[in-house]
């Protein structure tokens, strides 16, 4: 369920099936990367790249952080594409190791659109594309009017995925508008310098699973598209940075960590370039950030004299130096204070800008002697209180420290030890002095300590943002749609504590670190999207069926009411049956529902009306649920176990000759249908260990017998092993038997089990083989086909209900329910309990795709007679 954005993004590689059998090796090929990158529109300031290989999947299989950033709906969409396409064995074989580029673009309606790009060999033909998708289950490909355009539709997602294929590159997006801009040669694309940066670094970075490329020149316009007002505050200091960053990812399960090199445009007159050539210094001012800090930017200098000389050159290029020099001369003539000799030498090596949660801004400047600095400044200031004064002259701090202090023209100030505190209001200075006196700093909090432990101690520029404290600022500055995602249950952005972005000078570039930590320890609470009150507790597993463009939930309660509910939990209809539905409800191609109780066979339409001729009274009480041979009503046959009989009907309700025969013993309450070598089989067994293989016409084509006193009363499970097709079951002692279609029988004893154990035989570990699954008392054990233990789980209380939910490619999710304490459990492929579980619930439950959003939902009942739908 939680395939991360990058993991799922490799869906694009699946699209590269266009190059079936013709892919060229692109990894490390600069020309191939250039061919792909030239399609990316110019508003992409951020581009991720990664290779499609097994190690990538192993690292990121359960990585939550990217899902938190893009939202569970977007992540679920990508997961569906991943599962239905890339997991196909043929695609795995031909796409391994290919380079994928994922670019982020501002979208319409306050959203972010993703563009996937990769290269392929141009020898592929349209027939290659269409031939592959014709037989792919759950996927359909439509060629659009343009020869290079395709639309990909999945049965679990309501919106299509669009593809554009040309000149050895394939691009794809859920946004047709974005893809159109990528395909149109006349629209702006990322510049050649950015393409060169990405291509060169992509060929070098082989040891990192993910690379992040940032075009700093495009960041201002990129961020502007998310904002309702112009950039202000500390963001203004970042907006003029030009050049590129090439960062690689360091994997950590609870943090996003990127590091690498930022190469600025040194020919440009940019304030941040003044820190090139300065050695990194220890960031001590971060210890003085107030507890309510929203964001801050800290600066460190190893050589202030050099910095100020270069700052004057920067001011000269801006045409401001002469005016500032004249102002200093005026101050000297009027007051006798020579700022260059009386104030400048007292400036130390750090200064900072801080914005609080109330949008108050202040600056902190480290000084060498606070007492002497305070005395000198007061000579050119107006004293407001005993400790707070206001400068009489403008732009003094701007002249000595540059852009960060341009907004503090005539600030209020105070000295606290060896720190000069400045702000544009007296109250802000006083508020900080109170925080300082009472030692209320953000560094004192446990959360900040955890965040800061992986942040480098030294740098020249350090930008920090606290997520929680930035709420008001985000609401005030971001467009509504973007601001709301920080409190949207579809995202988990609030689980990120903060972000730190560091630059440390190294010659003509910066060593760069980007870090954000994530809280993965808290219990995830599943969000109920709706609940419906039944007349009693649920009696059957809630099932989901598609009806037109929506899904319908079919469920029965314990007083035999059968309900049809919409995907938003509204009752569509309800009808009273004569008893409990046995087994599951089946759906035919005409939309009709087919099921049986112990006494009747039902067929009804999706409006709850009985089809003509139904219900059919059964001549013997059914001992299990029906099995149907096909979904097409004209050819389907219905088989029902009835004590020692097999009943057979057409979908018109007529009995089928050759059946309704009696077997020599009580039938195991399960009939299994399978095919092998073009022969269809109905397989059943009796409780005394005799197994029978019939064809669909009722002819006995094989049988097998297990001698001894073993008793069989559990379900049969189809064995898909091509070397030994047949069924698998256990006797009451827990011995597992493999019963082949050829009549051969083998067994395995994996432990001591009570006669009330539950058993299943399905693929739940994510490989290609089926596992032996035992549930007994408080113990869950899953065994591989070679009889080794795959995983085990110990429950606190006895559990009694084992359930398997089909996902993709014959894989299942394993679930368990406990009647004693009304708890539901759901496991991943490694046997770990999924976050959010256990969940309060009772009886059978279901996990499936309830809405056309690609998200899985939990449908379960509770002791108070409700049916609930939860997002997973």
When comparing pLDDT for 652 and 64, which is higher? 652
> Which is higher by pLDDT, 68 or 775?
775
Q: Does residue 607 carry a pLDDT above 50? A: yes
In tens, the pLDDT along 708-765 reads 888 998 899 999 888 889 999 999 999 999 999 999 999 999 989 999 999 999 999 8
So what's the pLDDT on residue 133?
56
User: What is the pLDDT confidence band of residue 405, given thresholds at 50, 70 and 90?
Assistant: very high
List beta partners, residue 817: 801, 824
Average pLDDT rounded to a whole number, residues 140-169 = 77
More confident residue, 154 or 376: 376
Q: Which of 483-487, 598-602, 665-669 has the highest mean pLDDT?
A: 598-602
**Which tops the pLDDT comparison, 513 or 66?**
513
The predicted pLDDT at position 41 comes to: 92
Q: How far apart are CA 333 and CA 330, in angstroms?
A: 5
pLDDT recorded at residue 803: 94
Q: Do 393 and 410 meet the contact criterion of CB atoms below 8 Å apart? A: yes
Region of poorest pLDDT, from 51-60, 663-672, 850-859: 51-60
Per-residue pLDDT at 22: 25
**Which token pair is 794?**
């110990």
pLDDT attached to residue 98: 63
| pLDDT for res 475 | 81
Given a contact cutoff of 8 angstroms between Cβ atoms, the answer to whether 346 and 369 are in contact is yes
Residue 124's pLDDT is what? 45
Rounded to 5°, the CA angle 377-378-379 comes to 90
Is the bond leading into 866 cis (omega within 30 degrees of zero)?
Answer: no
Cβ–Cβ under 8 Å, residues 84 and 854: no
What angle in degrees, to the nearest 10, is found between the helix axes of 192-204 and 30-37?
A: 140
Cβ contact 690:646 at 8 Å: no
Which pLDDT band holds residue 454 (cuts at 50, 70, 90)?
A: confident
Residue 11 has pLDDT above 50, yes or no: no
> Is residue 126 scored above 80 in pLDDT?
no
**Rounded to whole angstroms, how far apart are CA atoms 715 and 816?**
17
Q: Taking a C-beta distance cutoff of 8 angstroms, is the pair 354, 361 a contact?
A: yes
Contact assessment for residue 311 and residue 402, using Cβ atoms and an 8 Å cutoff = yes
pLDDT at 834: 86
Q: What is the pLDDT averaged over residues 555-580?
A: 96
What is the pLDDT, as a whole number, of residue 549?
A: 80
Statement: residue 257 has pLDDT above 50: yes
Task: Report the share of the chain in percent with pLDDT over 90.
Answer: 54
Question: Is 60 exceeded by the pLDDT of residue 5?
Answer: no
460: tokens are 């020249």
DSSP state letters, 624-658 = S--EES-SSTTT-EEEEEETTEEEEEETTS-B-TT
Q: What is the pLDDT of residue 370?
A: 96
CA dihedral sign of residues 841, 729, 583, 622: negative
- First-last CA distance in the chain: 8
pLDDT at 377 over 50: yes
- Say whether 774 sits in a helix, a strand or coil: strand
Tell me the pLDDT band of 399, cut-offs 50, 70 and 90. Answer: very high
At residue 491, does pLDDT exceed 60?
no
Q: What's the mean per-residue pLDDT of the chain?
A: 85
Give the pLDDT score at 770. Answer: 92
Q: What is the mean pLDDT of residues 150-172?
A: 78
C-alpha torsion sign, points 246, 248, 252, 253:
positive
CB atoms within 10 A of CB 430: 18
Q: How far apart, in Å, are the Cα atoms of 42 and each of 106, 107, 198, 221, 266? A: 11, 13, 14, 10, 22
**pLDDT higher at 709 or 695:** 695
Q: Of 271 and 170, which is predicted with more confidence?
A: 271
684 within 8 A of 641, measured Cβ to Cβ: yes
Q: Would you state the pLDDT for residue 627?
A: 96
- Strands, DSSP E only, in 475-560? 496-506, 509-518, 527-533, 543-547, 550-556
Read off the pLDDT band of 54 (50, 70, 90): low
Lowest mean pLDDT among 68-77, 458-467, 860-869: 68-77
- Is residue 581 very low, low, confident or very high in pLDDT (cuts 50, 70, 90)? very high
Q: How far is CA 3 from the centre of its chain?
A: 6
Model confidence at 87, pLDDT cuts 50, 70, 90, reads low
Query: In the predicted model, what is the mean pLDDT of residues 767-782?
Result: 92
Render 143-170 in DSSP notation, one character per residue.
Answer: E-SSTTEEEEEETTBSS-EEEEEETTEE
Q: Note the pLDDT of residue 207.
A: 64
Helix axes 321-335, 304-317, angle to 10 degrees: 120
Q: Please give the average per-residue pLDDT across 144-171, as a whole number.
A: 77
Q: SS3 for 436-468, per residue? A: HHCCCEHHHCHHHHHHHCCCCCEECEEEEEECH
Instruction: Tell me the pLDDT band of 2, cut-offs 50, 70 and 90.
Output: very low
Q: Is the pLDDT of residue 620 over 50?
A: yes
pLDDT for residue 239 is more than 70: no
Angle at CA 250, nearest 5°, toward 246 and 256? 90
pLDDT tens digits along 341-360: 999 999 999 999 999 999 89
Q: Are 849 and 517 a contacting pair, CB within 8 Å?
A: no
Beta bridge partners of 825: 816
**Model confidence at 61: pLDDT above 90:** no
Q: Tell me the two tokens of residue 218.
A: 């495009």
Q: What is the pLDDT of residue 853?
A: 75
- Please, which residues bridge with residue 767 across strands? none
The predicted structure's pLDDT at residue 640: 96
Rounded to 5 degrees, what are φ and ψ at 117?
A: -140, 140
Specify the pLDDT at position 356.
Answer: 95
Place of tokens 């109780």: 597
**pLDDT of the residue at 86:** 54
Going from the C-alpha of 194 to that of each of 209, 465, 739, the distances in angstroms are 21, 27, 62
On the question of pLDDT at 198 being above 80, the answer is: yes
Highest mean pLDDT among 9-23, 261-275, 466-480: 261-275
pLDDT band at 504 (very low <50, low <70, confident <90, very high): very high
pLDDT digits (tens, 9 = 90+) for 624-679: 999 999 999 999 999 999 999 999 999 999 999 888 888 999 999 889 999 998 89
The answer to whether residue 535 scores a pLDDT higher than 80 is yes
């Amino acid at each position: 369920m939680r395939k991360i954005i990058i993991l799922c993004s490799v869906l694009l590689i699946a699209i590269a099936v266009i190059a079936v059998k013709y892919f060229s090796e692109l990894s490390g090929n600069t020309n191939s990367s250039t061919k792909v990158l030239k399609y990316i529109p110019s508003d992409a300031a951020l581009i991720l790249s990664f290779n499609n290989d097994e190690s990538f999947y192993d690292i990121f299989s359960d990585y939550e952080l990217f899902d938190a950033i893009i939202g569970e709906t977007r992540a679920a969409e990508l997961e569906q594409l991943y599962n239905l396409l890339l997991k196909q064995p043929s695609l795995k074989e031909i796409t391994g190791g290919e380079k994928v580029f994922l670019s982020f673009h501002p979208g319409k309606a306050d959203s972010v659109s993703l563009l996937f790009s990769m290269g392929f060999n141009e020898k592929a033909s349209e027939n290659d594309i269409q031939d592959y998708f014709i037989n792919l289950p759950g996927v359909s490909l439509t060629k659009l009017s343009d020869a290079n355009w395709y639309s990909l539709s999945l049965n679990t997602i309501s919106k299509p995925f669009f593809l554009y294929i040309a000149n050895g590159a394939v691009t794809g997006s859920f946004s047709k508008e974005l893809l159109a801009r990528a395909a149109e040669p006349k629209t702006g694309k990322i510049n050649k310098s950015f393409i060169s940066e990405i291509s060169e670094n992509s060929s070098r970075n082989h040891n990192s699973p993910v690379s992040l490329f940032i075009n700093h020149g495009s960041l201002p316009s990129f961020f502007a598209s998310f904002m309702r007002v112009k950039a202000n505050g500390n963001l203004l200091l970042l907006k003029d940075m030009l050049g590129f960053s090439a960062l690689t990812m360091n994997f950590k399960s609870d943090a996003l960590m990127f590091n690498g090199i930022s190469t600025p445009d040194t020919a440009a007159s940019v304030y941040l370039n003044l820190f090139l050539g300065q050695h990194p210094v220890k960031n001590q001012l971060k210890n003085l950030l107030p507890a309510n800090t929203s964001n801050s930017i800290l600066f460190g200098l190893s050589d202030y004299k050099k910095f100020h000389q270069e700052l004057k050159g920067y001011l000269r290029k801006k045409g401001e130096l002469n005016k500032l020099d004249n102002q200093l001369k005026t101050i000297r003539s009027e007051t006798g204070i020579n700022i260059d000799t009386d104030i400048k030498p007292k400036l130390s090596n750090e200064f900072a800008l801080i914005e609080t949660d109330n949008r108050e801004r202040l600056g902190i400047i480290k000084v060498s002697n606070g007492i002497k600095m305070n005395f000198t400044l007061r000579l050119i200031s107006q004293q407001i209180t005993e400790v707070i004064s206001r400068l009489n002259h403008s732009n003094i701090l701007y002249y000595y420290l540059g852009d960060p202090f341009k907004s503090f023209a005539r600030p209020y100030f105070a000295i606290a030890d060896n720190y000069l505190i400045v702000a544009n209001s007296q109250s802000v200075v006083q508020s900080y002095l109170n925080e300082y006196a009472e030692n209320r700093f953000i560094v004192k909090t446990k959360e900040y300590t955890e965040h800061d432990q992986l942040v480098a101690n030294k740098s020249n520029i350090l930008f920090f943002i606290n997520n929680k404290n930035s709420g008001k600022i985000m609401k005030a500055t971001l467009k509504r749609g973007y601001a709301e995602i920080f409190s949207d249950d579809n995202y988990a952005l609030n689980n990120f504590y903060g972000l730190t972005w560091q630059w440390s000078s190294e010659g003509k570039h910066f060593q760069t670190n980007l870090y954000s930590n994530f809280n993965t320890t808290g219990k995830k609470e599943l969000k109920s999207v709706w609940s419906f009150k039944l007349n009693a507790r649920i009696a059957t597993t809630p099932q989901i069926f598609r009806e037109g463009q929506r899904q319908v939930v079919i469920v029965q309660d314990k007083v035999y009411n059968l309900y049809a509910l919409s995907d938003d939990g509204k009752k569509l209809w309800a009808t009273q049956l004569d008893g409990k539905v046995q087994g599951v409800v089946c759906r035919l191609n005409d939309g009709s529902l087919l099921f049986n109780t112990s006494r009747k066979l039902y067929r009804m339409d999706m409006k709850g009306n009985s089809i003509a001729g139904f219900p059919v009274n059964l001549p013997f009480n059914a001992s299990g649920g029906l099995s149907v041979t096909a979904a097409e009503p004209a050819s389907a046959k219905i088989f029902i176990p009835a004590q020692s009989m097999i009943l057979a009907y057409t979908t018109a309700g007529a009995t089928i000759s050759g059946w309704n025969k009696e077997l020599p013993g009580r039938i195991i309450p399960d009939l299994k249908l399978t095919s092998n070598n073009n022969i269809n089989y109905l397989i059943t067994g009796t409780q005394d260990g005799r197994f029978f293989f019939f064809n669909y016409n009722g002819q006995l084509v094989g049988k097998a017998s297990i001698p001894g006193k073993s008793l069989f009363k559990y379900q049969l499970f189809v064995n898909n092993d091509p070397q030994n097709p047949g069924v698998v079951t256990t006797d009451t002692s827990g011995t597992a038997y493999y019963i082949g279609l050829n009549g051969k029988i083998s067994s395995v004893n994996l432990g001591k089990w009570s006669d009330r154990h539950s058993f299943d035989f399905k693929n739940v570990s994510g490989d290609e083989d089926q596992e032996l699954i035992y549930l007994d008392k408080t113990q869950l054990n899953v065994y591989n086909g070679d009889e080794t233990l795959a995983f085990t789980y110990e429950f606190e209380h006895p559990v009694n209900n084992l359930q398997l939910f089909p996902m993709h490619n014959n894989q299942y999710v394993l679930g368990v329910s406990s009647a004693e304490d009304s708890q539901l459990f759901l496991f991943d492929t490694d046997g770990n309990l999924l976050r959010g579980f256990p969940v309060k619930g009772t009886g059978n439950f279901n996990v499936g795709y309830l809405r056309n959003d690609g998200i899985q939902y939990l449908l379960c009942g509770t002791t108070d007679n409700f049916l609930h739908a939860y997002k997973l």
